[in-house]
């Protein structure tokens, strides 16, 4: 019985801290908030294809002190074709802790942040527009130990490859949306 307890304790310790590409990564969770919706709450239509289709406001905290930049990927895993990416933004400077509402749909923003392509093959944010039912939209933030030396216009897959081995912390805010008929 004691050996089982020791094994479970060892597994728990490993899951709290692990080596990734020779970097010590702590499972630090960033705190993500929005004045548009709460965790697991409904996203107002203002931020969807049914209205203005503008990006919601976000703020974050609790990132590690050696953070050099942030990245955000928003996706809908409930889309009929699989994971539909709504927003890819990266190289958000370390001193920035908020994305204002209605971020311009341009490759490079004034603060140096870069935007990638969503699943509609457009730059910047495109809001929820589910064909039926309630869909979940995950806004996942990453604190990175590097300012990426890459171009604008990356896809979600390309960004995930670029940040591999550089993620210091993550945080997520999930909202839902259902179109009224």
pLDDT tens profile 137-164: 999 999 999 999 999 999 999 999 999 9
Domain for residue 5, yes or no?
no
Domain for residue 91, yes or no?
yes
Residue 21 has pLDDT above 80, yes or no: no
Domain for residue 2, yes or no?
no
Tokens of 109: 């923003």
Nearest-angstrom CA–CA distance, 98 and 114: 15
Task: Residue 30: give its domain's CATH number.
Answer: 3.90.280.10
Domain for residue 13, yes or no?
no
**Domain range holding 79?**
21-177
pLDDT value of position 19: 35
Distance (Å) of CA 45 to CA 141, 168, 178: 22, 33, 9
Higher pLDDT, 11 or 1: 1
pLDDT value of position 146: 98
Tokens of 56: 């919601």
Domain count of the fold of the chain = 1
Counting every residue, how long is the chain?
181
pLDDT value of position 111: 97
pLDDT tens profile 70-97: 999 999 999 999 999 999 999 999 999 9
Lowest-confidence region among 18-22, 46-50, 131-135, 147-151: 18-22
Domain for residue 43, yes or no?
yes
Residue 65 has pLDDT above 70, yes or no: yes
pLDDT value of position 27: 54
Domain for residue 99, yes or no?
yes
């Amino acid at each position: 019985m004691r050996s089982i307890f020791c094994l479970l304790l060892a597994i728990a310790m490993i899951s709290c801290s692990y080596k990734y590409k020779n970097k010590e990564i702590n499972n630090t969770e960033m705190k993500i908030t929005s004045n548009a919706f709460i965790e697991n709450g409904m996203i107002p239509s203002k931020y969807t294809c049914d209205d203005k289709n503008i990006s919601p406001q976000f703020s974050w905290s609790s990132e590690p002190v050696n953070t050099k930049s942030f990245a955000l990927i928003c996706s809908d895993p409930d889309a009929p074709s699989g994971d539909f990416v709504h927003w890819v933004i990266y190289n958000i400077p370390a001193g920035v802790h908020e994305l204002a509402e209605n971020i311009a749909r341009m490759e490079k923003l004034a603060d140096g942040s870069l935007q990638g392509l969503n699943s509609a093959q457009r730059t910047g944010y495109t809001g929820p527009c589910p064909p039926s039912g309630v869909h979940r939209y995950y806004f996942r933030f990453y604190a990175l130990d590097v300012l990426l030396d890459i171009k604008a216009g990356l896809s979600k897959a390309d960004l995930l490859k670029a940040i591999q081995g550089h993620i210091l912390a993550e945080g997520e805010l999930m909202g839902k949306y259902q179109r009224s008929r």
